[in-house]
Amino acid sequence: MAADTDIRVGVLALQGDVSEHVRAFEQALSARIGEHHPVVPVRRPMEIEGLDALAIPGGESTTITRLIEKNGLRRPLARFPGGIFATCAGMVLLATAVDDPRVEPLGLVDMRVVRNAFGRQHESFEADIAIEGLDSPFHAVFIRAPVAELVGTGAEILARLNIGAVAVRQSLHLALSFHPELGQDLRLHELFLERL
């Protein structure tokens, strides 16, 4: 476990809300340690070394899968010893199984994920949801969101909606089907950092 001032966080910068994740984690780290703490974009395997945590943003999971392969990141990501904070397509990539054969997940969280479980872009929505570990509901933004339809015994469901789990934690990893980086509520980033 790293001391607070030594925590190094990166954001997988292949596609998606990279700058929003950088901003959110910089704010969460600043609130935690009282000073600015840079968060680094990650595009190559060597940039993962020495990190304590990594965010995998949303985007298009089949495209991110191809870019992970193209940039030689599959093995470094699958063997990453720190915590991974994954949103939307990131949740798909952390799974052990996915409903789409074009996506080869990293197998880091014991769950089966369905891509676009709520429908297409025009069926995106926002909702206040109860999340275990938070004292009040979290305003969540769902954009072509996945859900975990099956969660294994090694993982813990922190939040669910009627069609499946939307927040799942296993070990240091936190997988979310929504986009907390799009709001100002940093409680999930803080919850994640507390376990590092």
Say which CATH number the domain at 87 has: 3.40.50.880
- Given a cut of 90, whether residue 6 has pLDDT beyond it is no
What pLDDT, on a 0 to 100 scale, did the predictor assign at position 35? 82
Give 173's strand partners: 170
Select from 99, 79, 91, 64 the least CA-distant residue to 158.
91
Q: Which of 20, 88, 173, 189 is catalytic?
A: 88
What pLDDT, on a 0 to 100 scale, did the predictor assign at position 2? 57
**What tens digit of pLDDT does each residue of 77-106 get?**
999 999 999 999 999 999 999 999 999 999
Q: Which domain holds residue 31?
A: 4-194
Q: Give the count of domains, the chain.
A: 1
Q: Reply yes or no on whether 35 is catalytic.
A: no
**Mean per-residue pLDDT for 17-28?**
95
Q: State phi, psi for 98 to the nearest 5 degrees.
A: -135, 150
Contact 157, 170 (CB under 8 A): no
Query: For 5, which DSSP code?
Result: G
Q: How confident is the model at residue 4 (pLDDT cuts 50, 70, 90)?
A: low
Q: Which of 181, 189, 190, 194 is catalytic?
A: 181
Which pair of tokens denotes residue 47?
């940039």
**What tens digit of pLDDT does each residue of 36-64 get?**
889 999 999 999 999 999 999 999 999 99
pTM of the model: 0.95
- Given a cut of 70, whether residue 73 has pLDDT beyond it is yes
Q: How confident is the model at residue 112 (pLDDT cuts 50, 70, 90)?
A: very high
Q: How confident is the model at residue 1 (pLDDT cuts 50, 70, 90)?
A: very low
Q: Reply yes or no on whether 123 is catalytic.
A: no
- Given a cut of 50, whether residue 162 has pLDDT beyond it is yes
